[in-house]
Chains A and B, each alone.
Chain A
Amino acid sequence: DQQVKQNSPSLSVQEGRISILNCDYTNSMFDYFLWYKKYPAEGPTFLISISSIKDKNEDGRFTVFLNKSAKHLSLHIVPSQPGDSAVYFCAASGWGSSNTGKLIFGQGTTLQVKP
């Protein structure tokens, strides 16, 4: 049972345009959501996060939106740059008794930004 789903395996955008990566979750007990970025031959690195009490969090070119009623979050990258080309993982967590701080990851979306 995939609790966190990224239904788009890949996304290709032109440099300077907006990249929108999507993520859906099923567990209503999740209360914190994160995005990680991964380059080949490296470990994932933390990008941006959002608490369930917010609906938007912004950090420079990166903005994460959370729609709790739809159990959906998205990552917007504006403007996209070739260096943003990587695999992006959505992750969710909750500090309730059933989660104990574990991060549950989605399948990942490979973003390619074309010059």
Chain B
Amino acid sequence: DAGITQSPRYKITETGRQVTLMCHQTWSHSYMFWYRQDLGHGLRLIYYSAAADITDKGEVPDGYVVSRSKTENFPLTLESATRSQTSVYFCASSGGQGDYGYTFGSGTRLTVV
């Protein structure tokens, strides 16, 4: 199916564990993004990527790692999960220059206990 998909939809993990959230898009969009949504903070950018093998930090990158070996995939890894990383995570993509409208995935609700 065409679109942008995130997996898993829900995840519970323990403090200190490593967890990876997956994001896959089928449009061959150049740009991909990871945001987290928290009450009172809205959507905050964690990391973004302008193309395969090109990534850069957003507003709140600490504790997260990304990679982008293929254009269509942009996984987000929490190396050692903390309770403050409990949040809803959204992946998005866009075509790049001139394309300001992002398309978002349905989100992953992550709970760190």
Where the two chains meet, the residues of A that have a C-beta atom closer than 8 Å to any C-beta of B are 6, 9, 32, 34, 41-46, 49, 89, 91, 93, 95, 100-108
Contacts and interface: CB of A to CB of B under 8 A. Distances in A.
B63 to A, nearest CB: 20
Where chain A touches its partner, the secondary structure class is loop
Nearest to A3: B59
Given A49-B100, A101-B31, A101-B97, A43 B107 contact: yes
13 contacts: A41-B106, A43-B106, A45-B104, A46-B102, A89-B42, A91-B43, A101-B96, A103-B33, A103-B45, A104-B45, A105-B35, A107-B40, A108-B43
Contacts of A106: 42
Interface of B: 31, 33, 35, 40-45, 48, 50, 56, 58-59, 90, 92, 94, 96-107
Contacts, number: 61
Where chain B touches its partner, the secondary structure class is strand
A91 B58 CA distance: 15
A107 B100 contact: no
Contact of A100 (B35, B50, B101): B50
A102 B92 CA distance: 11
Which among A43, A103, A106, A107 has the highest number of chain B CB atoms within 10 Å? A43
B104 A34 contact: no
B42 A108 contact: yes
A87 B81 CA distance: 28
Contact of B43 (A42, A46, A89, A95): A89
